[in-house]
Structure 1
Amino acid sequence: MGDFDVRRILIDPGSSTDLLQASVINHMGLELSGLENLGKILSRFNGAATTSLGDIVLSVQAGPVTLNVQFSVVEDLSPFNAILGRMWLHYMKVIPSTYHQMVSFLTEDGQIDQYGSQLAACQCYQIA
């Protein structure tokens, strides 16, 4: 994202919003004061609500494809640094596979398969 290699990203077809942890913004050296659309209410799958700190647009590179993505920045998203939801999946025309822990999409040069890390996934779920 941007010029940084961000790890612990969840691909979530159930999320209607792309989310980014506020600490990632700080690590990138960006200011939270530059966020737009402050105070948006986000509803979790269990009905609980959280308020976003604002929105930011960052470039996200998956393989050879780079796409500008609008993220809602939240304070506590742990154990994940980012969640890419339906909007990103739709624009990238991604086919996610939870069984194979990968996403697949087409480019002008053919099909790209990006695999996740089994170890990182286990660590994230142990933290949660």
Structure 2
Amino acid sequence: MEDFDVRWILIDPGSSADLLQASVIKQMGLELSGLENLGRILSGFNGAATTSLGDVVLPVQAGLVTLNVQFSVVEDLSSFNAILGRTWLHYMTTIPSTYHQMVSFLTEDGKIDLYGSQLAARQCYQIAREVGSSKDG
């Protein structure tokens, strides 16, 4: 994204929004003051609501394809730095496979397969568990 290698991205076909952590914006050297559509309320699958800080459009490169994506910027998203949802999946005409932890899409040059990392998935899961247990305590 925006010439930065962003790690720990969740591809979520169940998400209707593309989300990005505010800390990622800061690490890119971008200002949160330049966000648009401030204060939109987003609701999660568990019914919890969070208010976005605003929207930002950033180029996202997947393989050889670059697509401008409108992200809703939020604080404390999860253990992931970004969530790419149905909007990105549809524009990329991507086929996600949770079983294989990959996405596939066609380009003019042929099929591209992008694979996730089993280690990164375990690390994100562990972080989410630790954060969840600390909130309960």
Structure 2 residue aligned with 1:90: 90
Partner of 1:27: 27
Q: Distance in 2 between matches of 1:78 and 1:24?
A: 12
**Distance in 1 of aligned mates of 2:49 and 2:119:** 30
User: Match of 1:48?
Assistant: 48
CA–CA distance in structure 1, aligned partners of residues 121 and 2 of structure 2: 23
Q: Pick the structure with greater CA Rg.
A: 2
* Alignment match, 2:80: 80
Identical residues among aligned pairs (%): 87
SS of equivalent residue, structure 1 residue 106: strand
Is 1:16 aligned to 2:2, yes or no? no
Q: 2:127 aligned with 1:127, yes or no?
A: yes
**What is the rounded CA distance, in whole Å, between the counterparts of 2:50 and 2:124 in structure 1?**
21
Structural RMSD (CA)? 0.4
Ranges of 4+ aligned residues in structure 1 off by more than 6 Å: none
In structure 1, C-alpha distance between the alignment counterparts of 2:49 and 2:101, rounded to whole Å: 29
- In structure 2, how many angstroms separate the alpha carbons of the residues matched to 1:126 and 1:75? 19
Cα distance in 2 for partners of 1:75, 1:96 equals: 26
Counterpart amino acid of residue 2 in structure 1: E
Determine the structure 1 residue equivalent to 2:134: none
Contiguous gaps of at least 5 residues in structure 2: 129-137
Once the two structures are superposed, the pairs formed by residues 97-112 of structure 1 within 5 Å of their partners are 97-112=97-112
CA distance in 2, matches of 1:112, 1:100: 14
Q: CA deviation at 1:59?
A: 0.1
Give a deviation string over 1:2-61, Cα, whole Å, max 9, x none: 110000000000000000000000000000000000000000101111000000000000
Query: What TM-score, normalized by structure 2, do the two folds share?
Result: 0.93
Query: In 2, Cα distance between the equivalents of 1:60 and 1:105?
Result: 15
Per-residue deviation, 1:78:
2.1
> Which of the two has greater helix per residue?
2
Alignment length, in residue pairs? Answer: 128
